[in-house]
Chains A and B, each alone.
Chain A
Amino acid sequence: EPEVTQTPSHQVTQMGQEVILRCVPISNHLYFYWYRQILGQKVEFLVSFYNNEISEKSEIFDDQFSVERPDGSNFTLKIRSTKLEDSAMYFCASSESGGGTEAFFGQGTRLTVV
Chain B
Amino acid sequence: KQEVTQIPAALSVPEGENLVLNCSFTDSAIYNLQWFRQDPGKGLTSLLLIQSSQREQTSGRLNASLDKSSGRSTLYIAASQPGDSATYLCAVRSNFNKFYFGSGTKLNVKP
Q: How far is the CB of B48 from chain A (nearest CB, A)?
A: 10
**Which residues from chain A contact B99 at a C-beta distance below 8 Å?**
35, 43, 45, 103
Contact B97 A106 (CB under 8 A): no
Is A65 part of the contact surface with B, judged by Cβ < 8 Å? Answer: no
**Which residues from chain A contact B44 at a C-beta distance below 8 Å?**
43, 91, 105, 108
In Å, the complex CA distance between A45 and B102 comes to: 12
Is A55 part of the contact surface with B, judged by Cβ < 8 Å? Answer: yes
Dominant SS at the B interface?
Answer: strand
Question: For chain B, which range describes its interface: under 10, 10 to 19, 20 to 34, or 35 or more residues?
Answer: 20 to 34
Contact A103 B46 (CB under 8 A): yes
Is B60 part of the contact surface with A, judged by Cβ < 8 Å? Answer: no
Dominant SS at the A interface?
Answer: strand
Contact B98 A102 (CB under 8 A): no
Residues on B lying within 8 angstroms of A by beta carbon are 31-32, 34, 36, 41-46, 49, 51-52, 89, 91, 93, 95-104
Residues on A lying within 8 angstroms of B by beta carbon are 6, 31, 33, 35, 41-45, 48, 55-56, 58, 89, 91, 98-108, 110
18 interchain pairs (CB within 8 A)? A35-B99, A35-B101, A43-B44, A43-B99, A43-B101, A45-B99, A48-B98, A55-B97, A56-B95, A89-B41, A91-B43, A91-B44, A98-B96, A98-B97, A101-B32, A103-B34, A103-B91, A106-B43
